[in-house]
Chains A and B, each alone.
Chain A
Amino acid sequence: MRYDRFLPLSLALALAITGAAGAADPWSEKAVSQHIDQRDYTGTLDAARLKALIDAGEALFVAKYTTGDGAGRPMATQAIIPTKRKRPVEQAFQRMQGMDANACSSCHNDPVIGAAADFSANVFVSEGFGNADFDSADPQFSNERNPNHLMGAGLVELLAREMSADLQRQRNEAIRRAKSSGAQQTVRLVAKGVDFGVLTIHPDGIVDLTGLDGIDTDLVIRPFSQKGVMTSLRQFTINALNDHLGMQADERFGARWTGEADFDEDGLDREITAGDVSALVAWQASRPPPVTRTPENDEWRALAGEGRARFDEFGCAECHRPALPLESLAFSDPGPLDAAGTLRLGEGEEGAVYDLALLDWAKTLPKDDQGRVLVPLFGDLKRHKIADRQIATLGNELLAQRFVERDIFMTSELWGIASTAPYGHRGDLTTLAEVILAHGGDARKSRDRYANAGEDDRRALIAFLKTMEIPE
């Protein structure tokens, strides 16, 4: 779908008023005829402006980018840090080193745009810093991953931001205590009920990080990717645009950070503007979360109720926490935790705030007695060891990724799991039963309880999980 055909009325009107050039001919082979200007979307957006940006983001999400838009990166690798190839790539498309897709929606479309995909849409994760041809020609130099769904992604990022801020506050207060008292402090870090281990803080402000558990040493929860190594939708979007589509965002690959306006040397610069990224972020952040449906079938409904109880009894809920409380639905973009190379507050224009409470789905979310939204993600936003010597299926990767060892992954959020088969990081497990039995490491006890349970209990758990859907 071409972007110009998808322009929301308000945006089209705005473009007409400002006399924007570049209106595409109907037969144009460019997917994007007009970039989003960040300056048009600052401050807290009202419902109309938010919708306009979301609509623009959807257009960019489904756009099949062409060479006319800047698709392709003949002289750049897939790496997150702008990295040159040693020589031009022979084939623009290549499933391992990328680019490997035409649109974001190529791999996020099942059962709806923005959701996941089956095994055929798997991608290969390698850092892209070595010889790109060599690295990706041999599977031992990359990890194969099945796409995650993006439904409810804005809520996930907001939870991660609040938890990161809370953990950093706990650290900073302990540092103040250690300095003022002159005594070593040990602080147990807990955010939204999730335990991230301990920090030992010396009176001179030095922090021993070795007691941390399931989180990076800077106490930033990176909620995205199966590994839990991406800070924000914005960061992930920029990475994915380059890796999968060969579309380079100016805010990382532009001349400010690379010295070249056309870093990938495909003849086009400013392929993706900051405004474009913001639109994509707004669209992803506004995806409605999956739901837990109440089955109309009496037997299923009864079994699912039983299964919900087994979920707790088996210990699944220790990591797959049914809900985490969220203080605010105000999604600021840029966010507070990104580093240079992903747009930050103070760079460029004033940031925008997307009030997710303006969206219809937000009104359906349950709240606790403190008025906090209960986000039913069935996750804890923490990384865990998921394989052991006997049960190693989910530790099947060959490479560590961004300081995270090969058998450690972010707890998968289970919301929507009934709609996102196949399972496992590689998408090579076709049933829920298989993926439950593949849990080792920190999840081994829960897995064993399931494995040793009676047939009825196992059936009940599956029946419950099958109620967690992405609405179509």
Chain B
Amino acid sequence: MRRLLLLASLAMCSSIAASAQEVTADDLAMDIPVMQEVAASAGIDHQYLGPWEFFVGGGAASFDCNGDRFPDLILAGGTSETQLYVNRSEAGGALKFESRAIDVNPSDLENVTGLYPIDIDNDGFRDVVVLKVGRNLVLKGGPDCSFTNASREFAFDGGRAWSTAFAATFEDAQIFPTLAIGNYVDRSAPGSPWGTCHDNQLMRPQNSEKPDYGAPEALSPGYCALSMLFTDWDHSGHPDLRVSNDRQYYRDGGEEQMWRIDAGKAPRLYRRSDGWRRMTIWGMGIAEGDIDADGFPEYALTSMGDTKLQTLDLEADEGRPVYRDIAFERGATAHRPYTGDDLKPSTGWHSEFADFNNDGRLDLFIAKGNVERMPEFAAYDPDNLLLGQFDGSFVEVGHRAGIDLDRRGRGAVVTDFNMDGMLDLLVVNRGGPASLFRNLGGRAGDRARPMGNWLEIELQQKGANRNAVGATILVKSGNETRVRKVQVGGGHASGHSGFIHVGTGVAERANIRIQWPDGEWSPSYRVFANNFVVIRKGDDAAQYWYP
């Protein structure tokens, strides 16, 4: 009955939203990116498969594993093969990938749900945390896309849970990152699957000489996490851990969670007395983006039905996380398919803010797809591309962009695979081929035109945390400031590491300031748009990189 009431209310909201959203993609003057699906020609042949345990997951990791700065890929296969694709694209040219074997024990790469890249041991090679149905592991990266299983070396106990979420941060003065693992249903518990969510884990480094995760802490209760993210939500400089949970399986007291993470202290949940408002959704993915560049990020939470777009409420304060949902007023609910005849609610998974059309506004991508023949939810459920408009609202252009395929999306990567300044998109689909969309530029009739200006920024620091996880990037042009965070986590089972993309619209130059993870502010770096910028902590000037 509750489900029926919810659906009725969703349908009502749908009609209101449809009438409230006056602007359609056909009316837009702004650039709609042409996203051309090229997986087959690019050499990507991949599916995410498996029974019930693999209805969720389906992630991808994107990072440079061979030192050419072009993002390579590892795709989770579920019961199918987990595959490594080395990027062979030419700058500005067609997307090309070469399949490469990962030289580890084949069983290490079985039953993989998700993957996140991060340089754990500070050796300059990104490692990969592999989430599995079963024993998770760490693939230690080496030269030329070589990997070894480093779980034993790092005292990383992969456990036997069904893992579906991951995030990482470098806590104060720590040499190695703190890892958070999100787990789903405990299938061995009595009464499973209902009300038997597994605890999540916080793995803090125990040793300053080498990675040692031998003393994990339970984050209990767990409510069947499908996404988690360390986020400095109150601009305090100390990120907390936000967890999005699937109400499908949790029971009494289950809700969205945020753990307060203080260095050296046990994590504790934010409670009602802290201002945290109970929210129960089929939480699948978290995206963070500071839409209005006020230093306090917004969050897109995917679910079944409405996507939530949360912003800090006026009642909020430091240490007091009070959020309100602005998805409806901003046209970002994305609650049902925007094309086709299926009016049932959508099922959202990976979410990510990024500027697909380089107009300087953050857009929102959401991977969509029925869980597995759930009749109450849309069967044809195309992925969303919600373009950020100049008035702060969003408008759906997925069909005009060309990403409205009849596939069941799960994890995704939004990055510039061919280094042309325009963001491409890879979507891992359940039970179907992975989609790879090349961004060709703004739609102009039957061709594509150049879009706005852009920057791509890489941060480097010596010693620990080489890739500056936790840093804030401010890109200022005129009165506009664009904010990006270097993060590991969020989305749905998928992460990428490398250049951070920023669209700058008509600004041909910008001042970049970095707040490094230790809180230190950089000088202002003067850069010209349409360049790849490399900023090393302590340097007086930025450098450019050319592909």
**Whole-angstrom CA separation of A216 from B508 in the bound complex:** 12
With contacts A206-B544, A257-B505, A259-B389 taken as known, whether A81 is within 8 angstroms of B477 at the C-beta atoms is yes
Cα separation A231 to B453 with both chains bound (whole Å): 15
Q: How many residues of A contact B (CB 8 A)?
A: 41
In the bound complex, residues from chain B placing their C-beta under 8 Å from that of A107 are none
Q: Which residues of chain B have C-beta atoms less than 8 A from A207's C-beta?
A: 543-546
B479 touches A (CB below 8 Å): yes
User: Smallest distance from the beta carbon of B32 to chain A beta carbons, Å?
Assistant: 11
- Knowing A205-B547, A206-B545, A344-B450, the reply to whether A218 touches B531 (Cβ < 8 A) is yes
Task: Check if B526 is an interface residue, CB within 8 A of chain A.
Answer: yes
Query: When each residue 509-547 of chain B gets 1 if its CB lies under 8 Å from chain A and 0 otherwise, what string results?
Result: 100000000000000001111110010000011111111
Are A217 and B31 within 8 A (Cβ)? Answer: no
Interface-lining segment among A248-256, A298-306, A409-417 = A248-256
Q: State A341–B507 Cα separation when bound (angstroms).
A: 8
Question: Of B506, B545, B547, which one neighbours A257 at CB under 8 angstroms?
Answer: B506
Alpha-carbon distance A261/B449, docked complex (angstroms): 20
B506 touches A172 (CB 8 A): no
- Whether A83 lies near B478 (C-beta < 8 A) is yes
Nearest CB to that of A207 among chain B residues? B544
A205 touching B546, Cβ below 8 Å: yes
Pick from B30, B506, B526, B528: contact of A340, CB under 8 Å: B506
Contact in complex: B545, A254 (CB < 8 Å)? no
Residues of B within 8 A of A257 (CB): 30, 359, 452, 505-506
The answer to whether B509 touches A402 (Cβ under 8 A) is yes
Residue B358 interfacial (CB < 8 Å): yes
Main secondary structure of the interface of B (DSSP, over half): loop
- Given A254-B29, A340-B451, the answer on whether A259 and B69 have CB atoms closer than 8 Å is no
Task: Judge whether B506 and A341 touch: CB under 8 Å.
Answer: yes
**Consensus secondary structure, chain A interface:** loop
- A127, B480: Cα distance in complex, Å: 13
Q: Report the Cα distance A259→B444, complex, angstroms.
A: 17
A260 at the interface (CB under 8 A from B): yes
Would you call A204 and B29 a contact (CB within 8 A)? no
Known: A206-B544, A340-B358, A403-B509. A346 touches B450 (CB 8 A): yes
B29/A341 in contact, CB under 8 A: no
Task: Note all chain A residues with C-beta closer than 8 A to B509.
Answer: 402-403
CB distance from B91 to the nearest CB of A (A): 10
Is B528's CB under 8 angstroms from A218's CB?
A: yes
Task: Determine the distance from Cα of A81 to Cα of B360 in the docked complex, in whole angstroms.
Answer: 12
If A81-B477, A218-B528 touch, whether A340 touches B543 (CB-CB below 8 Å) is: no
CB-CB contacts below 8 Å: A53-103 with B = 79-83
Contact status A346-B69, CB under 8 Å = no
As a 0/1 sequence over residues 448 to 477 of chain B, the CB contacts with chain A under 8 angstroms (1 = contact) are 011111000000000000000000000001
How close is B104's CB to chain A, nearest CB, in angstroms? 27
B-contacting residues, A163-194, CB 8 Å: 171-172, 175
Encode contact with A along B389-426: 1 for CB under 8 Å, 0 otherwise.
Answer: 11100000000000000000000000000000000000
Check B453 against A340 for contact (C-beta < 8 Å). yes
Query: Taking CB as reference atom, which chain B residue is nearest A235?
Result: B508
Interface contacts (Cβ under 8 Å), in number, total: 105
User: In the complex, which residues of chain B have a beta carbon less than 8 angstroms from the beta carbon of A206?
Assistant: 534, 543-545
CB distance from A170 to the nearest CB of B (A): 13
The reply to whether A255 and B508 form a contact with Cβ atoms under 8 Å apart is no
A430 at interface, CB cutoff 8 A: no
For A251-291 the 0/1 string (1 means CB < 8 A from B) is 01011111111000000000000000000000000000000
Chain B nearest CB, measured from A10 CB (Å) = 29
Determine whether the beta carbon of A252 is less than 8 Å from that of B534: no
Q: Known: A83-B479, A129-B478. Contact between A255 and B541, CB under 8 A?
A: no
Q: Is B544 touching A339 in the complex (CB atoms < 8 A)?
A: no
CB-defined contacts of B93 to chain A, threshold 8 Å: none
**CB of B319 within 8 Å of the partner chain:** no
Check B92 for interface membership: any CB of A closer than 8 A.
Answer: no
Q: Judging by beta carbons under 8 Å apart, are B449 and A347 in contact? A: yes
CA distance A79 to B508 in the complex (A): 13
* Residues from chain B with Cβ under 8 Å of A402 in the complex: 509
- The answer to whether B478 touches A259, judged by C-beta atoms less than 8 angstroms apart, is no
A283 to chain B, nearest CB (A): 24
User: Which partner residue on chain B sits nearest A128 by CB separation?
Assistant: B478
Query: Are the C-beta atoms of B477 and A204 separated by less than 8 Å?
Result: no
B159 is an interface residue with CB less than 8 A from chain A: no
Instruction: Give every chain A residue within 8 A of B540 (Cβ-Cβ).
Output: 210
Please measure, in the bound complex, the distance between the C-alpha atom of A231 and the C-alpha atom of B478, giving whole angstroms.
18
Complex: A347 Cα to B451 Cα, angstroms: 9
- B residues near A127, Cβ cutoff 8 Å: 478
Q: Are B506 and A346 in contact (CB under 8 A)?
A: no
Is A40 located at the chain interface by the 8 A CB criterion? no
Chain A CB within 8 A of B221 CB: no
Closest partner residue, chain B, to A256 (CB atom): B29
Roughly how many angstroms separate A216 CA and B544 CA in the complex, as a whole number? 12
Docked CA distance A79–B479 (Å): 10
Is A45 interfacial (CB-CB < 8 Å)? no
The answer to the question of B143 belonging to the interface, with a C-beta cut-off of 8 Å to chain A, is no
Contact of B391 among A209, A216, A254, A259 (CB under 8 A): A259
Shortest CB-to-CB span from B30 to chain A, Å, is 6
Inter-chain contact A346/B526, CB cutoff 8 Å: no
**A37 proximal to B (CB < 8 A):** no
A448 close to B (CB within 8 Å): no
Please indicate the chain A residues that have their CB under 8 angstroms from the CB of B389 in the complex.
259
Closest CB in chain A relative to B203 CB, distance in Å = 32
A172, A206, A210, A339, most chain B CB atoms within 10 A? A339
Chain B neighbourhood of A260, CB < 8 A: 390
Query: Inside 8 A of A171's CB, which chain B residues have their CB?
Result: 546
Interface string of A330-343 (1 = CB under 8 A from B): 00000000011100
Is A216's CB under 8 angstroms from B528's CB?
yes
Cβ–Cβ contact B478 & A81, under 8 A: yes
Nearest CB of B to A64, in Å: 28
- Give complex CA distance A341, B505 in Å: 8
Q: Which residue of B lies closest to A261 (CB)?
A: B29
Which B318-376 residues sit within 8 Å CB-CB of chain A?
358-359
Among the listed B450, B478, B545, B546, which residue makes an inter-chain contact with A79, where contact means beta carbons less than 8 Å apart? Answer: B478
- Mask for A207-231, Cβ within 8 A of B = 1, else 0? 1111000001110100000000001
CB-CB under 8 A from A83, the residues of chain B are 478-479
- A350 and B517 CA atoms in complex are apart in Å by 48
- Complex interface: chain B residues within 8 A of A220 (CB): 528
Contact of B480 among A81, A209, A346, A347 (CB under 8 A): A81
**Please, how many angstroms separate the alpha-carbon atoms of A254 and B527 in the complex?**
26
Tell me the smallest distance from the CB of A339 to a CB of chain B, in Å. 4
* B540 to A: closest C-beta gap in Å: 8
Contact B450 A340 (CB under 8 A): yes
Chain A: which residue is nearest B534 at the CB level?
A: A206
Q: A221 to B331, alpha carbons, bound, how many Å?
A: 43
**Contact indicator A403/B526 (Cβ below 8 Å):** yes
Of A81, A256, A346, A403, which contacts B31 at CB under 8 A? A256
The answer on a CB contact under 8 Å between B506 and A252 is: yes
Cβ contacts under 8 Å, A261 to chain B: 29
A residues touching B (Cβ–Cβ < 8 Å)?
Answer: 79-83, 127, 129-130, 171-172, 175, 204-210, 216-218, 220, 231, 252, 254-261, 339-341, 344, 346-348, 402-403
The 9 closest A-B pairs by CB, nearest first: A341-B506, A259-B390, A255-B29, A81-B478, A339-B508, A218-B528, A340-B452, A403-B526, A129-B478
**Cross-chain pairs A/B with CB under 8 angstroms, 24 sampled:** A79-B478, A80-B478, A81-B507, A129-B479, A130-B479, A172-B546, A205-B547, A207-B543, A207-B545, A209-B541, A209-B544, A231-B508, A252-B506, A256-B31, A257-B506, A258-B390, A340-B358, A340-B452, A340-B505, A341-B452, A341-B506, A341-B507, A403-B509, A403-B526
On B, residues with C-beta under 8 Å from A are 29-31, 67, 69, 358-359, 389-391, 441, 444, 449-453, 477-480, 505-509, 526-531, 534, 540-547
What 13 additional pairs, Cβ within 8 angstroms, besides A81-B478, A83-B479, A402-B509?
A79-B478, A79-B479, A129-B479, A206-B543, A208-B543, A209-B544, A217-B526, A256-B29, A259-B29, A339-B453, A340-B505, A340-B506, A346-B449
